[in-house]
Every structure is written in C-alpha cells, then in structure tokens.
C-alpha cells in the first residue's frame, strides 16, 4: 500500500514515467550510493589510502541485491544516520579484510551529492531527447501552418491576425532555448563531491585531492575546484530549468485548452477511441493532456522553490538543505519527465482546424485589420492622432452595429478604396518571415548537435 497518489498503481502514470522512476526508486538510489562507495574505494586504493584487495572486494560486493534491505532500513532508523545502515549491511556481506575500509574518510554528502550528479546526468539525457522531439513536432507544425491565418489574441481578446505557424514556431524556439540551457549547464551540474567533514579533506594530506580527482574521473563527473557542501546553487539551477520546461509545456497546454473550446474550435487534442470525456455528459471531449500540463507545472514550480531554499545553507554543512533535496529533486524530475511525455503526445496528435481559424477571423467583421488601418491612417495624420480617431470611430460603429470598414468610411478617416483591401486581406505582418528564421536556425542547430545530451566529463572540461 502507498499513501502517495503519485505512487499508486492507478494514478502513478500521471506523476512519473517508468524511465524516471528507474532512476529514483529506492533500489536504484541505494545501488547508486553503492556505486559511489565502490568508486571511492578504487580511488583510495590507487592513492594508497586503503589496500587494493580491499577495494576489489568492496567493488565486487557493492550490489544492492546482495544486501538485506530490511536490515538497512532497520539500522538506519536505529542509528539515526543516513548511510550507516547501508555501511553496516555492506560490511556484513564483505570478507573481513575489506570491512574496515568501507566508506573510509567519507561523509554522507560525499556519497549522496556525487550520486545526485549521476542522477542529474540520467535525467538530463531523458530531457534532451524529449525536448528535441518536442522541438521537432513544433517545427513541423510551424512549417505546415506557416501561412494558416488565425486571430492573434491579447488579454484574452482577438486582435490582429497572426498565423498558427508563427505560434508553433514560438513554441519551437522556446524548446531550443531549453536545449541550450541543458547544454550550457552540464559543466556546472555534473560535478562530483569528496569533501570530508567541513570540506577541506582534513587528515588525508596530499592524497585527498588526488582521491577526489580519481573518484570524479571514475564516475565520469567533473571535479570541483572547491567543495560545495552548502553551495546548493547547482541543484537549485537544475530545478529552475525543470520549472521553465514545464512552464513552456503548460503554456502550450493552455493554448490548446482555450482554443479547443467549442465556441472557438481552432485546436483539438487527438484522442484514442477508449478515452472517456465524461460519464455523465457523453458529448464532451475534454482536453485532459493540456489541462494536466498545467497541473504538472504548478507542482514542479513548488518543488523548485524548495530547491531554491537550499541556497541559504549555513556554515560548512546544513542537513536542512540537502535532505530537502532528497524529496524535492526527484519529485521535480518525475513531474518534468511526465510533462515532456504528455507534451509529445499532445503535439503529435494535435488537430488544427484552419477553417475554424478563418471563420473566427471573418466573425470579427474586419476588426483584425485595425492595426493595418492604424498604420495607414498614421502615415497621414501621425500615429497618436490616428489611434485616437480610429478608437472613437470604431467605438461609435460598434454601438451602431457597423463593421470596421463601414465605421471607418463613415467617419471619413480613409476612403472605401483604402479600407476595403485592408479588411478583405488580413495581414499577418512578418509572421512568415519569423517562422522561416526559426526553421532555419533550428535546422542548423540540430545538424550540429548530438542526438544524446552532451553532458558529463567532456562537457565539464
């Protein structure tokens, strides 16, 4: 039984993916800690801190399936120490010659912070893949609908014309910026930790830094210039990126949510035949994925805020910060991975109703041309005077039930020959050219970058 709905059999798929749960579930986390312990033993043996045969035995025995996990939990509760239960149970399965050398001269954070960096490497790889797929889908929509006219909307109200391709290109461009952030952030995030009690590796002499260098190299992580026990900006920054990614997906979800309203009807989620919109109102086709993207983003922002709190850690060690990360960081990663998976399904099946977009523009009775009319009149009387005159004429026309062309003509601001073409042919401005620019830049960036996240040691150096 589980008390968290996020872990339930029926609802867990809404809050995490199997791929990301495999990174953060208890057995994976414990194995990750054991991997760090084994790598530390190898690094210490290479520098003569512990015997080489002890390191070999520790490496061979550091397997989660070899441990009594009930005993690990019991010893953790008994000692009140985060990793002593794991140490004792690992010692119990090792030959006597190795037991004394397990976890030598190390602290909880040496193990857990280093493991966190390896977990971030796995999460970053998943997000890199998903963001590239999301960008690809958005670019496809942008190219297909480069010239598909629709009403642009500001403050929830229809305004000047844009194209749906322009909207989709904006999504793609935002995904590209997240990819840039992932690439640029790798050297800061994927960094090991071997610090000792207060960060100075006291007692290890000249071998301390050499062990740290070997540990980081063994695990494919960058070596820090200085210990970062209470410098939690790395984790906080990664959390910020997760909040940004889910924010982008929530923005897209909000567009689909709003534009799928029957009175607008411009976009619709693709739906499987088995999906039920409502058990009491069978006609409904609910935008479930779009809606859930907003929910995921809210929760991710909350978890990211907890990670940000850790940046105010005290002195040389402060368990309040990094222990909060143990809860908030996996949560934010699981939520973000779910959001990218939902976003991919949303964009891959998105239905675009170009006819509805055109009809909604037509229903505006020429109001979408007001910006073009303002420019035309502004060239004659000046932009400020034109704005005041048009606003007055259009407000009067609205009261009298007139269309834009009639209202402007009756006010004598522009002649029918000037107004007619502007109203008849909605002008999306430079939308097409901006779509082309996004497509061109994205194509160049995608051709130059690897399919897998360029994170890890190579990026860090």
Q: DSSP characters for 388-439?
A: HHHHHHHHHHHHHT--HHHHHHHTTSS-HHHHHHHHHS---TTHHHHHHHHH
Question: Nearest 5°: phi and psi at 225?
Answer: -75, -30
- Between CA 343 and CA 101 the distance in angstroms is 48
- Residue 126 forms part of a structural domain: yes
Has residue 370 got a pLDDT over 90?
no
Rg (alpha carbons) of the chain, rounded to whole number? 29
Range of the domain at 122: 108-203+220-359+450-460
Residue 370 falls in the annotated catalytic set = no
For the CA atoms of 34, 35, 37, 40, the dihedral, rounded to the nearest 10 degrees, stands at 180
* DSSP calls for 272-297: -TT--S-SS-TT----HHHHHHHHHH
Tokens of 30: 């414990």
Stretch among 75-84, 100-109, 283-292 having the lowest mean pLDDT? 283-292
- Residue 395 forms part of a structural domain: no
Beta-sheet pairing, 157-163 with 149-154: antiparallel
Q: What size, in residues, is the chain?
A: 461
369 and 284 Cβ atoms separated by less than 8 Å: no
**Nearest-5° angle of CA 409, CA 414, CA 416?**
55
Q: H-type helices in 260-382, by residue range?
A: 288-309, 319-348, 354-363, 370-381
Has residue 461 got a pLDDT over 80?
no
Has residue 460 got a pLDDT over 90?
no
Are 255 and 148 within one domain? yes
Residue 315 falls in the annotated catalytic set = no
pLDDT at 332: 98
- Between CA 392 and CA 407 the distance in angstroms is 10
pLDDT at 284: 73
pLDDT at 286: 86
- Residue 61 forms part of a structural domain: yes
- Between CA 132 and CA 127 the distance in angstroms is 8
Are 59 and 180 within one domain? no
Catalytic residue among 81, 101, 117, 155: 155
- Residue 275 forms part of a structural domain: yes
pLDDT at 276: 67
CATH for 277:
1.20.200.10
Has residue 404 got a pLDDT over 90?
no
**Residue 62 three-state SS:** coil
CA atoms within 13 A on the CB side of 113: 31
CATH for 90:
1.10.275.10
- Between CA 300 and CA 245 the distance in angstroms is 10
User: What is the enclosing helix (H) or strand (E) of 53?
Assistant: helix 52-61
Rounded average pLDDT over 311-333: 95
**Residue 151 three-state SS:** strand
Are 180 and 63 within one domain? no
Are 114 and 237 within one domain? yes
Report percent pLDDT > 90 for the chain. 76
Rounded average pLDDT over 154-165: 93
Has residue 273 got a pLDDT over 70?
no
pLDDT at 140: 98
The strand pairing partners of 162, in sequence order, are 150
- Between CA 20 and CA 126 the distance in angstroms is 8
Are 94 and 131 within one domain? no
- Between CA 68 and CA 400 the distance in angstroms is 82
Encode pLDDT of 82-141 as tens digits. 999 999 999 999 999 999 999 999 999 999 999 999 999 999 999 999 999 999 999 999
Has residue 244 got a pLDDT over 70?
yes
- Residue 364 forms part of a structural domain: no
pLDDT at 138: 98
Using the 3D structure, point to which of 74, 99, 124 is the last residue of a domain: 99
Which long-range contacts link 376-384 to residues 24+ away (Cβ below 8 Å)? 376/414, 376/418, 376/422, 377/413, 377/414
Are 188 and 269 within one domain? yes
Has residue 388 got a pLDDT over 60?
yes
- Between CA 349 and CA 351 the distance in angstroms is 6
Regarding predicted confidence, which is higher, 329 or 159? Answer: 329
For the CA atoms of 318, 319, 323, 325, the dihedral, rounded to the nearest 10 degrees, stands at 0
Are 121 and 242 within one domain? yes
Using the 3D structure, point to which of 99, 119, 141 is the last residue of a domain: 99
- Residue 269 forms part of a structural domain: yes
- Residue 261 forms part of a structural domain: yes
Are 117 and 94 within one domain? no
For the CA atoms of 266, 271, 275, 277, the dihedral, rounded to the nearest 10 degrees, stands at 0
pLDDT at 271: 80
The residue with tokens 């801190």 is: 49
pLDDT at 336: 98
- Residue 371 forms part of a structural domain: no
Using the 3D structure, point to which of 82, 99, 116 is the last residue of a domain: 99
How many C-beta atoms lie closer than 10 Å to residue 266's C-beta? 24
Catalytic residue among 278, 313, 315, 370: 278
Are 64 and 133 within one domain? no
What is the pTM assigned to this prediction? Answer: 0.94
Rounded average pLDDT over 264-283: 79
Are 69 and 112 within one domain? no
Regarding predicted confidence, which is higher, 169 or 422? Answer: 169
Rounded average pLDDT over 207-224: 97
Has residue 457 got a pLDDT over 50?
no
Report percent pLDDT > 70 for the chain. 97
| Number of domains composing the chain | 2
The residue with tokens 């809404």 is: 14
Residue 1: pLDDT band by 50, 70, 90 thresholds?
low
CA atoms within 13 A on the CB side of 11: 8
Most confident of 2-11, 149-158, 166-175: 166-175
pLDDT at 368: 74
Residue 277: pLDDT band by 50, 70, 90 thresholds?
low
pLDDT at 61: 98
**Residue 226 three-state SS:** coil
Regarding predicted confidence, which is higher, 388 or 217? Answer: 217
Are 37 and 80 within one domain? yes
**Residue 228 three-state SS:** coil
pLDDT at 381: 87
Tokens of 332: 């934010």
Are 138 and 79 within one domain? no
Has residue 35 got a pLDDT over 60?
yes
């Amino acid at each position: 039984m589980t008390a968290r709905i996020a872990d339930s059999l029926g609802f867990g798929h809404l809050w995490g993916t199997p791929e990301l749960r495999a990174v953060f579930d208890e057995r994976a986390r414990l194995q990750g800690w054991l991997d760090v312990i084994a790598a530390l033993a190898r690094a210490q043996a290479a520098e003569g801190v512990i015997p080489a045969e002890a390191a070999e035995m520790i490496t061979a025995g550091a397997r989660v399936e070899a441990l009594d996990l009930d005993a690990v939990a019991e010893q953790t509760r008994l000692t009140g120490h985060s990793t002593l239960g794991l140490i004792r149970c690992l010692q119990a399965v090792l030959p006597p010659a190795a037991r004394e050398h397990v976890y030598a001269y190390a602290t909880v954070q040496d193990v857990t912070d280093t493991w966190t960096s390896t977990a971030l490497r796995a999460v970053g790889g998943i997000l890199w893949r998903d963001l590239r797929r999301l960008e690809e889908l958005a670019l496809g929509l942008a190219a297909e609908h480069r010239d598909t006219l629709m009403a642009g909307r500001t403050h929830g109200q229809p305004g000047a014309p844009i194209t749906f391709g322009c909207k989709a290109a904006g999504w793609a461009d935002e995904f590209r910026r997240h990819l840039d952030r992932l690439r640029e952030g790798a050297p800061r995030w994927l960094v090991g930790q071997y610090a000792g009690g207060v960060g100075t590796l006291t007692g290890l002499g000249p071998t301390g830094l050499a062990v740290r260098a070997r540990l980081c190299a063994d695990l494919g992580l960058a070596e820090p210039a200085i210990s970062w026990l209470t410098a939690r900006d790395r984790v906080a920054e990664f959390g910020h990126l997760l909040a940004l990614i889910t924010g982008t997906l929530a923005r897209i979800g909000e567009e689909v949510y709003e534009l799928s309203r029957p009175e607008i009807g411009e976009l619709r989620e693709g739906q499987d035949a088995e999906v039920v919109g409502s058990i009491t109102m069978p006609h409904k086709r609910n935008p479930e994925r779009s809606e859930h993207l907003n929910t995921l983003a809210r929760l991710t922002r909350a978890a990211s805020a907890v990670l940000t709190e850790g940046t105010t850690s005290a002195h040389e060690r402060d368990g309040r910060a990094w222990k909060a990360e143990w809860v908030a960081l996996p949560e934010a990663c699981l939520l973000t991975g779910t959001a990218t998976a939902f976003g991919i399904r949303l964009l891959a099946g998105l239905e675009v109703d170009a006819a509805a977009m055109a009809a909604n523009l037509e229903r505006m009775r020429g109001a979408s041309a007001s910006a073009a009319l303002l420019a035309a009149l502004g060239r004659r009387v000046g932009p400020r005077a034109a704005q005041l005159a048009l606003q007055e004429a259009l407000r009067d026309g609205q009261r009298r039930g007139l269309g834009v062309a009639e209202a402007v003509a009756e006010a004598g601001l522009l002649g029918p020959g000037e107004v007619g073409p502007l109203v008849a042919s909605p002008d999306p401005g430079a939308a097409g050219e901006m779509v082309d620019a996004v497509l061109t830049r994205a194509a160049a960036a995608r051709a130059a970058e690897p399919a897998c996240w360029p994170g890890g040691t190579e990026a860090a150096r």
